[in-house]
Amino acid sequence: MDRYALRRQDYSLSEDQSELQAVYAKFFRTRCPIETVRAAEDSGFDRNLWEQLCATGATSMALPESAGGDGAGLVELVLVAEELGRVLAPVPWIEHIVAARLLGRLDALSPRTADDIVAGRRIVALDPDPVQRPGPRLVPAGAVADDVLVLDGDDVVLLSSGVPPEHVANIGRLPMAWVDPRTAGEAAVVASGAAAVAEFRRALDEWRVLTASALVGLLDETLLIAAEFAKSRYTLGVPIGTLQAISHPLANIAIAVNGGRNLARRAAWFLENEPDTQAELPAAAFVFITGEAPAAATMAVQVQGGLGVSAESAASAYLVRARGWSLAAGDPAVAAREIAVLAAARPASAPAPVAIPV
């Protein structure tokens, strides 16, 4: 039997994976309360939290052992990303991990900076917008990254600057900044050709899967906030959560969470093990959750009425990030079009994608 035959349909976690997720759930819960998130809103980055996260091995776990990492797979990274999103952690972990893995695959980790990148002392990021645009690019972690990877034609270019560009205010409270390849302090082509472009595209897919997982965690916590409120508020002597106008929308959010989680894990597994089999899955996971998260987070705020839209409400913090993180790479419709192109190109004899259980 094909050793992957069962795993293609089974996305339950192993004991080690469950333990990994529990460890990072505890880490983020204890180290990143909502007060920490609020305090970092102006810059989108908490350096103290970043250093603590790096000390856990979160930046080295995803790199191959040959590059000084621990060789974890993309499914394991999905679990960490979900817990990061659950607390809205103001750290550029997803961007750093994806960019570092790309440098590793391109064999472009400089001996001078490799140890610092692996340990997170030097932050790397990439431009996740799949549309190649001339001139400046709005990079989600550009304001805190020491190096930024961009795709310029058939070249993967590493931009380095002694002073990161100025932070750009954004609804997602991300450390965004405009990065211009023409004015970067130092620009070096680290790889060229079709193979280099393919690796960069794979990095974009990894960014999509991990961002989708972060949004799943965000949405799951948003559901919890709304559900707890609905159980504690009464009208006509009954909890408002017993009313269909409240309970049914909350049930829909739960369905979105479970569907997004299963789709992200499935996309991660195929991207790691059989990237050419269902190449549309990373984009599908991203499109699904970026469509569901803003609408569901809005509903969670509405459940709480006037309290939900107040500036101090946790639900409002989750709402703005549900909207902002979904747009970090530009228009999600670009990913939707990619799905259509990939589906249309699939040979007629190829098996149709298996339905995702929710």
pLDDT tier, 203 (very low <50, low <70, confident <90, very high otherwise): very high
CATH for 197-345 is 1.20.140.10
Q: What percent of the chain has pLDDT over 90?
A: 66
Question: Which positions ≥6 away from 32 have C-beta within 8 Å?
Answer: 46, 49, 87, 88, 89, 90
DSSP H helices in the chain: 15-31, 34-39, 47-55, 74-86, 93-105, 114-119, 194-232, 244-273, 281-303, 305-308, 314-326, 332-345
Mean pLDDT of the chain: 89
pLDDT tier, 180 (very low <50, low <70, confident <90, very high otherwise): confident
**What's the CA gap between 183 and 181, in Å, rounded?**
6
| Amino acid present at 339 | I
**How many Cβ atoms from other residues are within 10 Å of residue 263's Cβ?**
25
DSSP reduced 3-state for 137:
strand
Backbone angles phi, psi at 22, to 5 degrees: -65, -40
Q: Name which of 1-15, 60-74, 158-172 the model is least confident about.
A: 1-15
pLDDT number for residue 306: 66
Backbone angles phi, psi at 242, to 5 degrees: -85, -10
pLDDT number for residue 10: 67
Q: 187 burial class (0-12, 13-18, 19+ CB within 10 angstroms)?
A: middle
Q: What percent of the chain has pLDDT over 70?
A: 93
Alpha-carbon separation of residue 314 from 5, 33, 157, 227, 234 (angstroms): 43, 11, 39, 13, 21
Given a contact cutoff of 8 angstroms between Cβ atoms, the answer to whether 128 and 104 are in contact is no
Residue 235 has pLDDT above 70, yes or no: yes
Q: For the segment 217-226, what is each residue's pLDDT rounded down to a tens digit? A: 999 999 999 9
Q: For the segment 15-72, what is each residue's pLDDT rounded down to a tens digit? A: 999 999 999 999 999 999 999 999 999 999 999 999 999 999 999 998 877 777 788 8
Tokens found for residue 187? 């620009």
Token pair 């190449």: residue: 279
Given a contact cutoff of 8 angstroms between Cβ atoms, the answer to whether 58 and 80 are in contact is yes
DSSP assignment of 274-302: -TTTSTTHHHHHHHHHHHHHHHHHHHHHH
Given a contact cutoff of 8 angstroms between Cβ atoms, the answer to whether 95 and 140 are in contact is yes
Strand 155-160 to strand 124-126: parallel, antiparallel, or no bridges (unpaired)? unpaired
Question: Which positions ≥6 away from 214 have C-beta within 8 Å?
Answer: 81, 82, 84, 85, 94, 325
DSSP assignment of 63-126: S-GGGTS----HHHHHHHHHHHHHTT--S-HHHHHHHHHHHHHTT---TTTHHHHHHTSS-EEE
* pLDDT, greater one: 343 or 31: 31
pLDDT number for residue 126: 95
114-136 burial code (b ≥16 CB/10 A, e <16):
beebbebebbbbbbbbbeeeeee
Tokens found for residue 178? 């405009």
Q: For the segment 258-305, what is each residue's pLDDT rounded down to a tens digit? A: 999 999 999 999 999 999 888 999 999 999 999 999 999 999 888 887
Q: For the segment 88-147, what is each residue's pLDDT rounded down to a tens digit? A: 999 999 999 999 999 999 998 888 888 999 999 999 999 999 887 778 899 999 999 999
Residues 158-178, mean pLDDT to the nearest whole number: 91
Given a contact cutoff of 8 angstroms between Cβ atoms, the answer to whether 46 and 93 are in contact is no
Residue 4 has pLDDT above 70, yes or no: no
pLDDT tier, 209 (very low <50, low <70, confident <90, very high otherwise): very high
Residue 352 has pLDDT above 90, yes or no: no
For the whole model, what pTM was predicted? 0.92
pLDDT number for residue 135: 82
